[in-house]
Amino acid sequence: MTTIKKIGIIGAGQMGSGIAQVCAQAGYDVFLSDISEASLEKSLAGITRNFDRQIQKGKLSEADKTAALGRIVTGTDLSIFGDSDLVIEAATENEALKRDLLKKLVPHLKPEALIATNTSSISITRLAAATDRPAKFMGMHFMNPVPVMQLVELIRGIATDEPTFEAIKELTLAIGKTAAVAEDFPAFIVNRILLPMINEAVYTLYEGVGGVEAIDTALKLGANHPMGPLELADFIGLDTCLAVMQVLYEGLADSKYRPCPLLVKYVEAGWIGKKYGRGFYDYSQTPPVPTR
Q: CA torsion 186→192→195→200, rounded to 10°? A: 110
Rounded CA-CA distance 170/138 in Å is 14
Q: Is 120 a catalytic residue?
A: yes
Q: Is 191 a catalytic residue?
A: yes
Query: DSSP of 205-268, one letter per residue?
Result: HHTTSS-HHHHHHHHHHHS--SS-HHHHHHHH-HHHHHHHHHHHHHHH--GGGPPPHHHHHHHH
List b or e across 47-86, with b for residues whose CB sees 16 or more CB atoms inside 10 angstroms.
Answer: beebbeebeeeeebeeeebeebbebbebeeebebbeebbb
From the candidates 39, 141, 199, 231, which is the catalytic residue? 141
Q: Other C-beta atoms within 10 Å of 124: how many?
A: 27
From the candidates 17, 50, 89, 153, which is the catalytic residue? 153
From the candidates 84, 118, 123, 191, which is the catalytic residue? 191
Residues forming a β-bridge with 116:
88, 138
Q: Is 141 a catalytic residue?
A: yes
Q: Is 153 a catalytic residue?
A: yes
From the candidates 120, 121, 123, 199, which is the catalytic residue? 120
Residue (of 147, 135, 42, 141) closest to 98 by Cα position: 141
Rounded CA-CA distance 144/141 in Å is 10
Q: Which residues form the catalytic set? A: 120, 141, 153, 191
